[in-house]
Structure 1
């Protein structure tokens, strides 16, 4: 199978990538800097991480990366990012196109794919307005209710899962001086999450609580000097959060942070319904922390009171965290079992096999 996997990253990750790849003078050097940092690695298929020649990987939204490739291949003028990605697919003679960024490259892009491409899949685990993915052979994700949304829009929806990143084996076996950590977004899409963060932030009086928040542009504007003169109060973070908030962390720094923390607080975005099992669940459990997350329908291996702990309200989140810290030996056993289950159930070998099986059914 000649596979091309296209990915993307948060705009807030770009400064870190530029720093990591500051000396990169080629497409391969910049791509290697990105892959070595493991941002999003739970989604990257085994042949990509193994560096096999039949598996080509790129970030189609990374203009620096893509223009390096275009220049190396002698593409004339200033081609668009879409044109570069199409050229990469043709140059690689891709048979299976797996896209993690379908909002940027929707059905209109699929219609332009060269004839070598026989199968197309895209990952999308969130509603996306009027985005059209019907030209893809399948939309994949691990949230059944969201797959149902895509099916109602005329797409074929198939269950597929992130996987345990083997690099996680290098993290989380020493001291855990941080009591509670949260890493994630803070925007208008996170109302329930914001209420929980506000209550948990109050534990900072007696515990080491770390909140690494990727605030939305509107939140940053609301908290600026100019924004405080505008009617944007509801978009500002409460003082209890703002006082202890840190910038977001990514990649191996995230693994290191989780590996230094006893508890990882997680909260689904409001649009996820009752389905649970976002990337943070895999990262938290994979690095051996105790996952404390909101109640809902979890994936196999994520079981309340056995491999994770859950809460039903912001108030209960504080209670669960406090209880877990008070009886840390028991909590550590839950976390260790969670790590083992995630490693066993969601291995890269199994992910790759399931991907092959899925491609075979299309």
Structure 2
């Protein structure tokens, strides 16, 4: 199976990644893959350097222009470059992690060698048209239902344990009691309430690595402005805020904290299972997360710990701080579970079954 996997870079990752100069497309791609950004979603043949697998970030202008230069393609149009890569690779299966940028209009332009087109989309997306894809996948059943109602064929698929996490899980230290890694904006209403409760827990060493929205960054940079009040970090969060982390930097931070705090964004409904769940457990921390419908194996009190309201959060944090045996048991069980149930090999096997 000749598979092509396309990805997109988040705004925060673009700003904070550290790039070294590279002189070839292969070197630039290798440099990116070494960061392990979104590694839970990247398929096994890519990391195994299979000759049948091609990977790129279709919105990375520097990387894509390097490929165009090497292949004599005189265009700055990123869509045209992506189509040329697919055609040259003789792709049979196109798996796209950035289907909003490359939707149905793009799929209609795919060369004839492509037999299946699959898009990962784990969020409601307004009027976006993905109906030309042969399959839309993610691990949120309610979101799959919304795509089905729009006329898409859908299937359940899941992130995987990144084997690189094992080294971090084996070398854990508890320099911090609790961390959070994720986005923050005024639209994250429930998450913001939960973060404030966690940050207000007395006597804990905590740090929140926040990817702020543009207006949130502006509101916290300027002196207090009434029009931007709702965008500012609450005082208790501002005191422990740090810049966002991705990939290996996130793994390292998780491995230095006893507890990883998690909270779904409001649009997820009751479904749970964002990438942080797999990273926290995979790196051997206790996952403290909001109640909801989780993927198989994520069990409250066994492989993670759930809170159902902000008021519960300080109590649960203190419980984990007092009872080291309980915290260690949950962390170890979660790590073993995600490594066994969500391995890269099982993810790849499931992907082939979908095809």
CA distance, structure 1, for counterparts of residue 46 and residue 187 of structure 2: 32
CA distance, structure 2, for counterparts of residue 36 and residue 128 of structure 1: 30
Do the aligned partners of 1:308 and 1:334 also contact (CA within 8 Å) in 2?
yes
Partner of 2:169, secondary structure, is coil
With structure 1 as the length reference, what TM-score do the two structures score? 0.96
The question of 1:120 aligning with 2:117 is answered yes
- Superposed, 1:208-287 pairs within 5 Å as 208-225=205-222, 228-229=224-225, 231-287=227-283
CA distance, structure 2, for counterparts of residue 16 and residue 277 of structure 1: 25
User: What is the deviation of 1:207?
Assistant: 1.3
Aligned to 1:180: 178
Do the aligned partners of 1:172 and 1:260 also contact (CA within 8 Å) in 2?
no
Partner of 2:91, secondary structure, is coil
User: May I ask how many residue pairs the two structures share in their alignment?
Assistant: 354
Aligned to 1:9: 9
User: What is the deviation of 1:89?
Assistant: 0.3
User: What is the deviation of 1:316?
Assistant: 0.6
Aligned to 1:342: 338
With structure 2 as the length reference, what TM-score do the two structures score? 0.98
Q: Could you tell which deviates more after superposition, 94-103 or 230-239?
A: 230-239
Do the aligned partners of 1:97 and 1:119 also contact (CA within 8 Å) in 2?
yes
Structure 2 unmatched runs, 5+? none
The question of 1:314 aligning with 2:299 is answered no
Partner of 1:166, secondary structure, is coil
Partner of 2:227, secondary structure, is coil
User: What is the deviation of 1:187?
Assistant: 1.2
CA distance, structure 1, for counterparts of residue 8 and residue 177 of structure 2: 31
Do the aligned partners of 1:172 and 1:256 also contact (CA within 8 Å) in 2?
no
RMSD: 1.1
CA distance, structure 2, for counterparts of residue 62 and residue 48 of structure 1: 18
- Superposed, 1:1-362 pairs within 5 Å as 1-17=1-17, 19=18, 21-76=19-74, 78-173=75-170, 174-203=172-201, 205-225=202-222, 228-229=224-225, 231-359=227-355
Do the aligned partners of 1:189 and 1:271 also contact (CA within 8 Å) in 2?
no
CA distance, structure 1, for counterparts of residue 310 and residue 23 of structure 2: 48
Structure 1 unmatched runs, 5+? none
Partner of 2:130, secondary structure, is coil
CA distance, structure 1, for counterparts of residue 118 and residue 37 of structure 2: 21
CA distance, structure 2, for counterparts of residue 357 and residue 229 of structure 1: 54
User: What is the deviation of 1:314?
Assistant: 0.9
User: What is the deviation of 1:230?
Assistant: 5.0
Do the aligned partners of 2:186 and 2:230 also contact (CA within 8 Å) in 1?
no
CA distance, structure 2, for counterparts of residue 218 and residue 155 of structure 1: 34
